[in-house]
Amino acid sequence: MTTPLRITYREAVKQGIRGALLADPRVFLMGEDVGRYGGCFAVSKGLLDEFGEERVRDTPLSESAFVGAGIGAALGGLRPIVEVMTVNFSLLALDQIVNTAATLCHMSGGQFPVPVVIRMATGAGRQLAAQHSHSLEAWYAHVPGLRVVEPATIDDARGMLRVALASPDPVIVFEPISLYNMEGDLTDAAAHVRLEGARVHRAGSSVTLVTYGASLWRCIAAAEVLAQDGIDAEIVDLRSLRPLDDATVLASVRKTRRVVIVDEGWRTCSLAAEIGQRIVEQGFYDLDAPIARVCTEEVPIPYPKHLEDAALPGCERIVDTVRRLLGHAV
């Protein structure tokens, strides 16, 4: 075990991309402003100088065309990393992702798998208002043929891209906007991360918090507050949103018998709804209390800070929900 390196999430993602470019000549990065500008979140800064324009490829504002071109390049034997600046703009490429990337393998009877990786930033929290603050992970997680992951830790941010590229299937990688500046320890574990499988981030006995992405850190903050009341929360970081790892969630529920799902998506038709239903189907008799959800309020994200904070599943709302749930169960 070497001593962990303290780096930002942004740097971890960048190291992941750089490592992939170094390891495999078939890998290239393309997207809007990934080269000269250095990436809209400065993730790819310096990579153009190191790898050149062929492999760090700036694209016009043509999301549908360049995402589709990434899919085609994958069919043609390359291993593209396509960066769509944010999930908000990925809606312009939704047709290519859902109708082409997700279906070709199946429609061709298995002849044409699509090994493309599509990265995009996601989430709210920076007062960017309704069109720049979406969390639409559930839309992609709905679609068979796609694999969907969301690294929430430094190790996952560093390591998941490598395993995503090794997958023969299209992988959507979500990077929470609010985590790019987060600092943390990069450990040896980054070299061994898996694409699939949830992870117990914090062990506890009183309640299970199931979450993913930026909400992991909201849950960690909430767990610290709850610990002062003697409430010991277990936190499950889903990591992979499709496929979902039911076993890890259910094992935790069997242990704590109470569950709160924390999801930055809107509640209606959310990942939280799917997870809750799976728990009901497979672990109903392990529950001592109704399943609770803390999701984003059903409103497009407003610009002013106090309203944005109120809309998001913040620490305070998580703490209140857990307290109410435990009171209910007593």
- Name the active-site residue from 11, 32, 83, 132: 132
Nearest to 181 by CA among 7, 5, 4: 7
Q: Which does 98 bind (CB under 5 to 8 A by kind): other proteins, ligand TPP, none?
A: none
Q: Which is nearer to other proteins, 68 or 283 (CB)?
A: 68
Respond yes or no: is residue 134 known to be catalytic.
no
- Asked if 329 interacts with other proteins (CB under 8 A), we say no
> 312-318: long-range contacts (C-beta < 8 A, 24 or more apart)?
312/124, 312/125, 312/264, 313/215, 313/218, 313/262, 313/263, 313/264, 314/218, 315/218, 315/221, 315/222, 315/225, 318/209, 318/218, 318/219, 318/222, 318/260, 318/262, 318/294
Q: Which is nearer to ligand TPP, 41 or 217 (CB)?
A: 41
Q: Which is nearer to other proteins, 33 or 288 (CB)?
A: 33
How far CA 256 is from CA of 218, 233, 269, 329, in Å, comes to: 20, 8, 26, 12
Q: Which does 304 bind (CB under 5 to 8 A by kind): other proteins, ligand TPP, none?
A: other proteins
- Asked if 64 interacts with other proteins (CB under 8 A), we say yes
Respond yes or no: is residue 63 known to be catalytic.
yes
- Asked if 98 interacts with other proteins (CB under 8 A), we say no
Nearest to 329 by CA among 257, 261, 254: 257
What whole-number distance in Å separates Cα of residue 167 and Cα of residue 126?
33
- Asked if 268 interacts with other proteins (CB under 8 A), we say no
Q: Which does 225 bind (CB under 5 to 8 A by kind): ligand TPP, other proteins, none?
A: none
What is the binding site for other proteins (CB under 8 A)?
32-33, 36-38, 40, 58-65, 88-89, 92, 126-132, 297-300, 302-307, 310-311
Q: Which residues are catalytic?
A: 63, 132
